[in-house]
Amino acid sequence: MTSKTLFEPYTLGSLTLSNRIVMAPLTRNRAGPGFVPGDLTAEYYGQRASAGLLISEATQISQQGQGYQDTPGIYSQAQIEGWRKITTAVHAKGGRIFLQLWHVGRVSHVDLQENGAAPVAPSAIRAKTKTFVNNGFFDVSEPRALELDELPGIVNAFRQAAANAIAAGFDGVEIHGANGYLLDQFAKDSANVRTDAYGGSIENRARLMLEVAGAVVEEIGAERTGIRISPVSPANGVAATDPQAQFDYIVEQLDALGIVYIHVVEGATGGPRDVAPFDFGSLRRRFRNTYIANNGYDFDLATSRLAEDKADLFAFGRPFIANPDLVERLETRAPLAQVNPATIYGGGAAGYTDYPAIAAASRS
């Protein structure tokens, strides 16, 4: 047991975070024309800058990487300039923010792809899931398998997106390797039946994720590079027959790269923590740098896990939507406001920037 608290400063690479509470990535579908985040998004993140670390909503590295309507990108100059407003707002309040880099792979729809093209995937296996497109939830489209000679372009798109994020003022990036998106699709054999160097064995299925991580480290440095993984989450219809061996290997290789953190979804994303047997402590033991724990954490669970040294930082997702001052509320044990589910995806200020801080709420 340790005497650490959630509210003490923490050193993450070269950064000093004001506390151990992380705002998890939260897709809100409010990017403007050209998939550019705007002034409202700057206000939203600025309101939540008291988190020790903010991780942005998932942000596509290319149009091909988009899977939901009105999500932001980081591949055009206009998008870089839009994101700079957000990083400026967060830094003005003393916050730190990483950009989550995203390629959804097969979790997309032809209406989001250039010229109505099919989404891409490790293998031509349609995901049993829906996506948010045309202002509603619809089945994803049939994907096509990526050709071997296309994979270096995917890696390079992540590399360039990381460089663009730093140009936009981010403190670092988080590679999205979780929740059934492209890199997770390659890692898990329910979605990957390739017979080339990117399929079959544990090492081959991990190859694309590790090549992306290596390219990002080479571009912006290991101290600015994190990754999110979800070893046993069935999100977006993926599963691995050997998750412990697969992700023990992945984390060992990520440790060798020296990246600053792994962000681990423990259990089913947004669901049961015990969805499948898995020893998350094994990942913790294999990784020398920061372990961010995610999934179903509240004050009590985070405090107990910190005391047991099970993790260094703790990510909170939906509570940050309705509680811009979540850190203060947790520290004072104040009640938490509840999320309006009707305003999570898409829209304007309602359910986005109009949730009051507790001081304002108590006056109303």
Helix-then-strand count for the chain, H and E: 11, 14
DSSP string, 63-108: STT--STT--BSSSHHHHHHHHHHHHHHHHTT--EEEEEE--TTS-
Supply 321's token pair: 């939507």
Pairing type for strands 130-133 and 261-265 reads: unpaired
Residue 162 · residue 179 · CB < 8 Å:
no
Share of the chain above pLDDT 90, in %: 95
pLDDT in tens, 130-181: 999 999 999 999 999 999 999 999 999 999 999 999 999 999 999 999 999 9
- Report the CATH fold assignment for 10-363: TIM Barrel (3.20.20)
- HSE-up of residue 142 (Cα within 13 Å, Cβ side): 1
pLDDT in tens, 180-232: 999 999 999 999 999 999 999 999 999 999 999 999 999 999 999 999 999 99
d(CA 19, CA 31): 29
- HSE-up of residue 52 (Cα within 13 Å, Cβ side): 22
Residue 213 · residue 264 · CB < 8 Å:
no
Q: What share of the chain is helix, strand, coil (3-state, %, to 5)?
A: 40, 15, 45
pLDDT in tens, 268-284: 999 889 898 999 999 99
d(CA 186, CA 176): 13
- Active-site residue (options: 44, 45, 68, 181): 181
> Nearest to residue 56, comparing CAs of 67, 39, 44?
44
Per-residue model confidence (pLDDT) at position 359: 73
Q: Where are the domains of the chain?
A: 10-363
pLDDT in tens, 25-34: 999 999 999 9
Per-residue pLDDT at 361 exceeds 90: no
> Nearest to residue 298, comparing CAs of 48, 6, 39, 100?
6
Q: How would residue 360 be classed by pLDDT, with cut points 50, 70 and 90?
A: low
Residue 244 · residue 282 · CB < 8 Å:
yes
d(CA 41, CA 28): 10
d(CA 252, CA 140): 33
d(CA 189, CA 280): 20
Per-residue model confidence (pLDDT) at position 362: 53
**Catalytic site includes residue 181:** yes
Question: Dihedral through CA 104, CA 110, CA 112, CA 116, nearest 10?
Answer: 130
Per-residue pLDDT at 239 exceeds 60: yes
Distances in Å between the alpha carbon of 72 and those of 272, 324, 340? 29, 21, 22
Mean pLDDT of the chain: 96
Q: How would residue 1 be classed by pLDDT, with cut points 50, 70 and 90?
A: low
Supply 363's token pair: 């006056």
- HSE-up of residue 239 (Cα within 13 Å, Cβ side): 7
Alpha helices in the chain (DSSP H): 39-47, 77-92, 151-167, 182-187, 202-220, 243-257, 280-286, 299-307, 318-322, 326-332, 358-363
**Residue type, position 194, single letter:** R
Contacts of 274 (CB under 8 A, 6+ apart): 267
Per-residue pLDDT at 256 exceeds 50: yes
Q: Which residue has the tokens 């923490």?
A: 10
Query: Could you tell me the pTM of the whole model?
Result: 0.96
Per-residue pLDDT at 363 exceeds 70: no
> Nearest to residue 37, comparing CAs of 78, 67, 65, 6?
78
How many angstroms from the chain centroid is the CA of residue 88? Answer: 21
Q: Any idea what the Cα angle at residue 123 is, between residues 120 and 124, rounded to 5°?
A: 75
Per-residue pLDDT at 364 exceeds 80: no
pLDDT in tens, 85-126: 999 999 999 999 999 999 999 999 999 999 999 999 999 999
